[in-house]
Structure 1
Amino acid sequence: MIFHVSTSRIDAHGSLARCKSAEVFLDTDLAGRSDAFNPAELLLAALSACIIKGVERVTPILKFELRGVEVRIEGIRQDAPPKMESITYEIIVDSDERERRLELLHDNVRKYGTVFNTIAPGTQLSGTLRRKNLA
């Protein structure tokens, strides 16, 4: 598979990334801005999307019953050299499946995620998968 993304600078405050028929406004302002993802946040968003896509991919194969999924991610940036030092995630699954099946889902997400497996070798990447608490 080959992926194509084109990003253009709009001005000193932002840029626009395009892929297929989608557009994402990016925070490329040196001062930062609150209405767009900066590059580090975009990386974390890509990882969270990869995790959810992995869940979507394997749930039919495992015949895993799922009502919803949420991913929370935190990245810690190192200054010198600049990089993501560590990333932790929490996958929250709304499901009545047994604990062993939750572990199996987590194993599959870690094993088959493209972005997950790209980030993991160069960053301390760890996380958990848990059942959503009933309100």
Structure 2
Amino acid sequence: MNYHIKASSISNEDAVIHVKESNIDFGTTSKTSEILPNPAELFLGSFAACMLKNVERFSVMMKFNYSKTTLEVNATRLENPPRMENLVYHLTIYSADQKINTALLKKNIEKFGTIYNTIKQSCNIEGTIKTSPNV
């Protein structure tokens, strides 16, 4: 598989990532630092997207139903050289299905997640997966 995106920016303005029929605005200036995601947050968002896509994928393969998921991702930025380290996630799956094998789901995400495995090459990843009754 190959992937392709485009991105553009205007001097002293912010930037946009163009993916298929979507445009994702992100901040490159200080005036929008509290409004738009920055590149580090987009990086963490890519990790989150990978995990959530795999929850959907493995829900079919592992035969479980869920109403929604929530995912919180935190990471530490180190200074020299600038990089992300110690990525920590907490995934909650809301489901009435009490037989979800979260250990197997975690193993599958860690083994088959493209972004997960790319990040794992350079960054420590720790996380938890838990279930909660439907909301």
The answer to whether TM tops 0.5 is: yes
SS at match of 1:4: coil
Partner in structure 1 of residue 23 of structure 2: 23
CA contact (8 A) 2:96 2:133 kept: no
Question: 1:40 and 2:40 equivalent?
Answer: yes
What is the CA-CA distance between 1:134 and the residue it aligns to?
7.0
Partner in structure 2 of residue 55 of structure 1: 55
Task: Classify 1:85/1:17 alpha carbon distance in 2 versus 1 (closer, same or farther; 3 Å).
Answer: same
Segments of structure 2 that go 5 or more residues without pairing to the other structure are none
- TM-score, normalization: structure 2? 0.90
Distance in 1 of aligned mates of 2:73 and 2:92: 11
What is the CA-CA distance between 1:13 and the residue it aligns to?
3.5
Task: Classify 1:106/1:41 alpha carbon distance in 2 versus 1 (closer, same or farther; 3 Å).
Answer: same
Task: Classify 1:99/1:110 alpha carbon distance in 2 versus 1 (closer, same or farther; 3 Å).
Answer: farther
What is the CA-CA distance between 1:97 and the residue it aligns to?
3.8
Q: How many residues in Structure 1 have an aligned counterpart in Structure 2?
A: 135
SS at match of 2:101: helix
Task: Classify 1:65/1:111 alpha carbon distance in 2 versus 1 (closer, same or farther; 3 Å).
Answer: same
CA contact (8 A) 1:87 1:125 kept: yes
RMSD (Å), alpha carbons: 1.8
Distance in 1 of aligned mates of 2:134 and 2:66: 14
CA contact (8 A) 2:64 2:100 kept: no
What is the CA-CA distance between 1:96 and the residue it aligns to?
3.5
What is the CA-CA distance between 1:12 and the residue it aligns to?
2.0
CA contact (8 A) 2:67 2:134 kept: no
Distance in 1 of aligned mates of 2:78 and 2:41: 14
Task: Classify 1:119/1:76 alpha carbon distance in 2 versus 1 (closer, same or farther; 3 Å).
Answer: same
SS at match of 1:122: coil
In the TM superposition, what are the counterparts of 1:47-126 in structure 2 within 5 Å? 47-98=47-98, 101-126=101-126
Distance in 1 of aligned mates of 2:69 and 2:114: 19
- TM-score, normalization: structure 1? 0.90
CA contact (8 A) 2:87 2:125 kept: yes
